[in-house]
Chains A and B, each alone.
Chain A
Amino acid sequence: DGGITQSPKYLFRKEGQNVTLSCEQNLNHDAMYWYRQDPGQGLRLIYYSQIVNDFQKGDIAEGYSVSREKKESFPLTVTSAQKNPTAFYLCASSPPPGLAGLNSYNEQFFGPGTRLTVL
Protein backbone atom coordinates (compact mmCIF):
# COMPACT_ATOMS: atom_id res chain seq x y z
CA ASP A 1 0.00 0.00 0.00
CA GLY A 2 1.90 3.02 -1.28
CA GLY A 3 1.53 6.55 -0.04
CA ILE A 4 2.59 9.27 2.35
CA THR A 5 2.07 8.95 6.07
CA GLN A 6 2.26 11.65 8.69
CA SER A 7 2.24 11.09 12.40
CA PRO A 8 0.79 11.89 14.74
CA LYS A 9 -2.54 13.20 13.47
CA TYR A 10 -2.91 15.50 16.48
CA LEU A 11 -0.04 16.91 18.50
CA PHE A 12 -0.06 19.12 21.55
CA ARG A 13 2.96 21.02 22.73
CA LYS A 14 3.72 23.27 25.63
CA GLU A 15 5.03 26.68 24.81
CA GLY A 16 8.84 26.70 24.62
CA GLN A 17 9.22 23.06 23.61
CA ASN A 18 10.53 21.71 20.34
CA VAL A 19 8.46 19.08 18.56
CA THR A 20 9.15 16.88 15.54
CA LEU A 21 6.54 15.93 12.96
CA SER A 22 7.07 12.75 11.01
CA CYS A 23 6.62 12.31 7.25
CA GLU A 24 7.34 9.03 5.46
CA GLN A 25 6.73 8.02 1.85
CA ASN A 26 7.16 4.70 0.06
CA LEU A 27 6.53 6.09 -3.42
CA ASN A 28 10.24 6.28 -4.22
CA HIS A 29 9.87 10.03 -4.81
CA ASP A 30 12.95 12.20 -4.81
CA ALA A 31 11.34 15.49 -3.76
CA MET A 32 9.54 16.14 -0.49
CA TYR A 33 7.88 19.27 0.89
CA TRP A 34 6.46 20.73 4.08
CA TYR A 35 3.58 23.19 4.05
CA ARG A 36 1.78 25.04 6.78
CA GLN A 37 -1.94 25.81 6.55
CA ASP A 38 -3.79 28.38 8.65
CA PRO A 39 -7.52 29.18 8.49
CA GLY A 40 -8.34 31.60 5.70
CA GLN A 41 -5.03 31.03 3.95
CA GLY A 42 -3.65 28.66 1.37
CA LEU A 43 -0.70 26.38 1.85
CA ARG A 44 2.60 28.11 2.58
CA LEU A 45 5.91 26.39 1.89
CA ILE A 46 8.20 25.85 4.87
CA TYR A 47 11.02 23.68 3.50
CA TYR A 48 11.56 21.37 0.58
CA SER A 49 14.10 18.78 -0.43
CA GLN A 50 14.79 17.68 -3.98
CA ILE A 51 17.24 14.95 -3.09
CA VAL A 52 18.67 13.14 -0.08
CA ASN A 53 21.00 15.22 2.11
CA ASP A 54 19.87 18.46 0.50
CA PHE A 55 17.05 20.87 1.36
CA GLN A 56 16.05 24.48 0.75
CA LYS A 57 14.11 27.06 2.71
CA GLY A 58 10.65 27.95 1.58
CA ASP A 59 8.71 31.13 2.22
CA ILE A 60 8.27 30.72 5.98
CA ALA A 61 11.28 28.69 7.20
CA GLU A 62 12.01 30.76 10.32
CA GLY A 63 11.50 28.74 13.48
CA TYR A 64 11.56 25.39 11.66
CA SER A 65 14.26 22.86 10.80
CA VAL A 66 14.35 19.72 8.66
CA SER A 67 16.62 16.83 7.77
CA ARG A 68 16.72 14.48 4.79
CA GLU A 69 18.98 11.60 5.73
CA LYS A 70 16.86 9.02 3.93
CA LYS A 71 14.90 9.24 0.69
CA GLU A 72 11.68 8.10 2.32
CA SER A 73 11.76 10.37 5.36
CA PHE A 74 11.58 14.15 5.78
CA PRO A 75 10.92 15.09 9.44
CA LEU A 76 10.05 18.66 10.40
CA THR A 77 11.02 20.14 13.75
CA VAL A 78 9.03 23.06 15.06
CA THR A 79 11.35 24.90 17.39
CA SER A 80 10.60 27.20 20.29
CA ALA A 81 11.68 30.08 18.03
CA GLN A 82 8.48 29.67 15.98
CA LYS A 83 6.23 32.36 17.44
CA ASN A 84 2.87 31.02 16.31
CA PRO A 85 3.20 27.29 15.66
CA THR A 86 -0.45 26.29 16.03
CA ALA A 87 -1.47 25.17 12.53
CA PHE A 88 -2.18 22.25 10.23
CA TYR A 89 1.04 20.85 8.76
CA LEU A 90 1.07 19.02 5.44
CA CYS A 91 3.84 16.96 3.91
CA ALA A 92 4.01 16.18 0.21
CA SER A 93 6.25 14.37 -2.25
CA SER A 94 6.66 14.32 -6.01
CA PRO A 95 8.49 12.24 -8.61
CA PRO A 96 11.17 13.78 -10.83
CA PRO A 97 9.82 15.82 -13.77
CA GLY A 98 9.30 13.58 -16.75
CA LEU A 99 8.69 10.50 -14.64
CA ALA A 100 5.28 11.46 -13.29
CA GLY A 101 3.33 9.33 -15.72
CA LEU A 102 1.66 9.79 -19.07
CA ASN A 103 -1.25 11.88 -17.86
CA SER A 104 0.42 14.01 -15.26
CA TYR A 105 3.31 16.37 -15.21
CA ASN A 106 4.63 16.85 -11.72
CA GLU A 107 1.83 16.36 -9.26
CA GLN A 108 2.58 16.63 -5.56
CA PHE A 109 1.04 13.90 -3.43
CA PHE A 110 -0.04 14.96 0.05
CA GLY A 111 -0.14 13.18 3.36
CA PRO A 112 -3.12 13.37 5.74
CA GLY A 113 -1.62 16.21 7.80
CA THR A 114 -0.73 16.81 11.44
CA ARG A 115 -2.60 19.36 13.51
CA LEU A 116 -0.26 20.98 16.00
CA THR A 117 -1.68 22.90 18.94
CA VAL A 118 0.46 24.87 21.38
CA LEU A 119 -1.01 24.97 24.85
Chain B
Amino acid sequence: EVQLVESGGGLIQPGGSLRLSCAASGFTVSSNYMTWVRQAPGKGLEWVSVIYTDGRTSYADSVKGRFTISRDNSKNTLYLQMNSLSADDTAVYYCARLFDTAIQYFDYWGQGTLVTVSS
Protein backbone atom coordinates (compact mmCIF):
# COMPACT_ATOMS: atom_id res chain seq x y z
CA GLU B 1 0.00 0.00 0.00
CA VAL B 2 1.30 3.43 -0.94
CA GLN B 3 1.62 5.82 1.99
CA LEU B 4 3.13 9.27 2.44
CA VAL B 5 3.58 10.65 5.94
CA GLU B 6 4.70 14.25 6.46
CA SER B 7 6.23 15.64 9.61
CA GLY B 8 8.17 18.66 10.80
CA GLY B 9 5.54 21.36 10.71
CA GLY B 10 4.90 23.77 13.55
CA LEU B 11 4.97 27.35 14.71
CA ILE B 12 7.99 29.34 13.57
CA GLN B 13 8.87 33.01 13.80
CA PRO B 14 9.24 35.16 10.68
CA GLY B 15 12.72 34.81 9.24
CA GLY B 16 13.14 31.36 10.71
CA SER B 17 13.82 27.99 9.11
CA LEU B 18 12.08 24.65 9.16
CA ARG B 19 12.63 21.28 7.53
CA LEU B 20 9.71 19.13 6.50
CA SER B 21 9.98 15.40 5.96
CA CYS B 22 7.83 13.02 3.97
CA ALA B 23 8.37 9.31 4.60
CA ALA B 24 7.20 7.11 1.76
CA SER B 25 6.23 3.46 1.74
CA GLY B 26 4.90 1.19 -0.97
CA PHE B 27 7.06 2.73 -3.68
CA THR B 28 10.58 4.14 -4.20
CA VAL B 29 10.95 7.90 -3.88
CA SER B 30 14.03 8.09 -6.09
CA SER B 31 12.24 6.32 -8.95
CA ASN B 32 9.43 8.85 -9.03
CA TYR B 33 8.88 12.56 -9.45
CA MET B 34 8.14 13.90 -5.97
CA THR B 35 6.59 17.24 -5.14
CA TRP B 36 5.47 19.56 -2.40
CA VAL B 37 2.12 21.34 -2.69
CA ARG B 38 0.83 23.80 -0.14
CA GLN B 39 -2.51 25.23 0.87
CA ALA B 40 -2.86 28.43 2.85
CA PRO B 41 -5.74 28.46 5.36
CA GLY B 42 -9.04 28.69 3.51
CA LYS B 43 -7.27 28.99 0.15
CA GLY B 44 -6.56 26.86 -2.89
CA LEU B 45 -3.66 24.61 -3.79
CA GLU B 46 -0.24 25.89 -4.84
CA TRP B 47 2.53 23.75 -6.27
CA VAL B 48 5.81 24.50 -4.48
CA SER B 49 8.62 22.26 -5.71
CA VAL B 50 9.53 19.07 -7.57
CA ILE B 51 12.50 16.74 -7.59
CA TYR B 52 12.87 14.58 -10.67
CA THR B 53 14.29 11.08 -10.85
CA ASP B 54 17.59 12.42 -12.18
CA GLY B 55 17.90 14.77 -9.21
CA ARG B 56 16.96 17.96 -11.04
CA THR B 57 14.79 20.31 -9.03
CA SER B 58 12.34 23.10 -9.80
CA TYR B 59 10.55 25.66 -7.66
CA ALA B 60 7.65 28.05 -7.75
CA ASP B 61 8.79 31.66 -8.05
CA SER B 62 7.27 32.38 -4.62
CA VAL B 63 9.81 30.10 -2.88
CA LYS B 64 12.78 30.11 -5.26
CA GLY B 65 16.02 30.85 -3.44
CA ARG B 66 14.48 30.15 -0.02
CA PHE B 67 13.28 26.54 -0.21
CA THR B 68 15.28 23.43 -1.11
CA ILE B 69 13.81 20.07 -1.99
CA SER B 70 15.89 16.94 -1.49
CA ARG B 71 15.57 13.22 -0.84
CA ASP B 72 17.37 10.52 1.11
CA ASN B 73 17.25 7.35 -0.94
CA SER B 74 18.37 5.16 1.96
CA LYS B 75 15.43 6.37 4.04
CA ASN B 76 12.99 6.62 1.13
CA THR B 77 12.18 10.10 2.40
CA LEU B 78 11.55 13.47 0.77
CA TYR B 79 12.48 16.77 2.43
CA LEU B 80 11.73 20.44 2.10
CA GLN B 81 14.14 22.87 3.73
CA MET B 82 12.42 26.20 4.19
CA ASN B 83 14.44 29.33 5.03
CA SER B 84 13.58 33.01 5.46
CA LEU B 85 10.00 32.15 6.24
CA SER B 86 7.30 34.80 6.19
CA ALA B 87 3.61 34.91 7.06
CA ASP B 88 2.83 34.20 3.39
CA ASP B 89 4.36 30.74 3.82
CA THR B 90 1.75 29.77 6.42
CA ALA B 91 0.00 26.73 4.97
CA VAL B 92 -0.57 23.02 5.14
CA TYR B 93 2.25 21.41 3.19
CA TYR B 94 1.50 18.20 1.33
CA CYS B 95 3.98 15.90 -0.29
CA ALA B 96 2.62 14.21 -3.38
CA ARG B 97 3.86 11.82 -6.00
CA LEU B 98 3.72 13.19 -9.52
CA PHE B 99 2.90 10.27 -11.75
CA ASP B 100 4.62 10.76 -15.07
CA THR B 101 3.34 9.15 -18.25
CA ALA B 102 1.96 10.91 -21.28
CA ILE B 103 0.42 13.30 -18.79
CA GLN B 104 1.52 14.12 -15.28
CA TYR B 105 -0.78 14.11 -12.29
CA PHE B 106 -0.55 14.04 -8.50
CA ASP B 107 -1.80 10.55 -7.69
CA TYR B 108 -0.77 10.00 -4.07
CA TRP B 109 -0.80 12.61 -1.33
CA GLY B 110 0.24 12.70 2.30
CA GLN B 111 -2.05 13.94 5.04
CA GLY B 112 -0.23 17.27 5.24
CA THR B 113 1.71 19.12 7.92
CA LEU B 114 0.79 22.61 9.08
CA VAL B 115 3.41 25.36 9.06
CA THR B 116 2.46 28.56 10.87
CA VAL B 117 4.75 31.56 10.56
CA SER B 118 3.96 34.07 13.25
CA SER B 119 5.62 36.09 15.97
The answer to whether A and B interact is no
Contacts from A to B (Cβ < 8 Å): none
B residues with CB within 8 A of A: none
